[in-house]
């Protein structure tokens, strides 16, 4: 029997290739947990790449990775040790 208490949402670690970004903001707009925002800084091409506002909210849905037309952002799965207490932070 499955205990719902043991199930946890996944957590993701976001990697951004800043200098590949062309500032289209698709990732910012479509992140379901509003984890990203456009930064104030310029990258080497003169665009504002995204930065992670709140990494703890990232669910590893990988939508930013899939929608980015520049292959400039991707998400890796955070391992359990990185997540903190087991089961405590379940929504």
Partner 1 sequence: MKKEDRLEQRHPIEDLLRMDRIPHIWCPGCGIGTVVTSFAEALRKSEVDLDKIAVISGIGCTGRVAGYVKLDSIHTTHGRAVPVATGLKLANPELKVVVFSGDGDIAGIGGNHFIHAARRNMDIMIICVNNFNYAMTGGQVAATTPRDANASTAPYGNFEYPFSLPYLAEASGATYVARWTALHLRRVTKSMQEALGKRGFSFIEVITPCVTLYARRNRLGDGLNLLKYYYEKSEIQHGADTRTLDISYQGKLIVGKFVDIEKPTFLDCMNEHLGKVLGDKYQPYGVNND
The footprint of partner 1 (CB under 8 A) covers 15, 17-20, 22-26, 29-30, 44, 47, 63, 65-72, 74, 76
Nearer to partner 1 (CB atom), residue 27 or residue 89: 27
For the CB of residue 41, give the shortest distance to partner 1 in the complex, in Å. Answer: 12
For the CB of residue 55, give the shortest distance to partner 1 in the complex, in Å. Answer: 15
Distance from C-alpha of 90 to C-alpha of 87, rounded to nearest angstrom: 6
Q: Hey, CA dihedral for 50, 71, 24, 47, is it positive or negative?
A: positive
Nearer to partner 1 (CB atom), residue 24 or residue 59: 24
Nearer to partner 1 (CB atom), residue 45 or residue 90: 45
For the CB of residue 16, give the shortest distance to partner 1 in the complex, in Å. Answer: 8
């Amino acid at each position: 029997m499955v205990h719902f208490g043991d199930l946890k949402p996944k957590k993701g670690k976001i990697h951004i290739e800043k200098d590949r970004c062309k500032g289209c903001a698709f990732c910012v707009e479509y992140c379901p947990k509003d984890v990203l925002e456009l930064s104030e800084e310029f990258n080497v091409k003169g665009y504002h790449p995204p930065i992670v506002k709140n990494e703890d909210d990232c669910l590893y849905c990988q939508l930013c990775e899939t929608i980015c037309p520049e292959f400039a952002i991707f998400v890796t799965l955070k391992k359990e040790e990185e997540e903190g207490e087991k089961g405590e932070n379940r929504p």
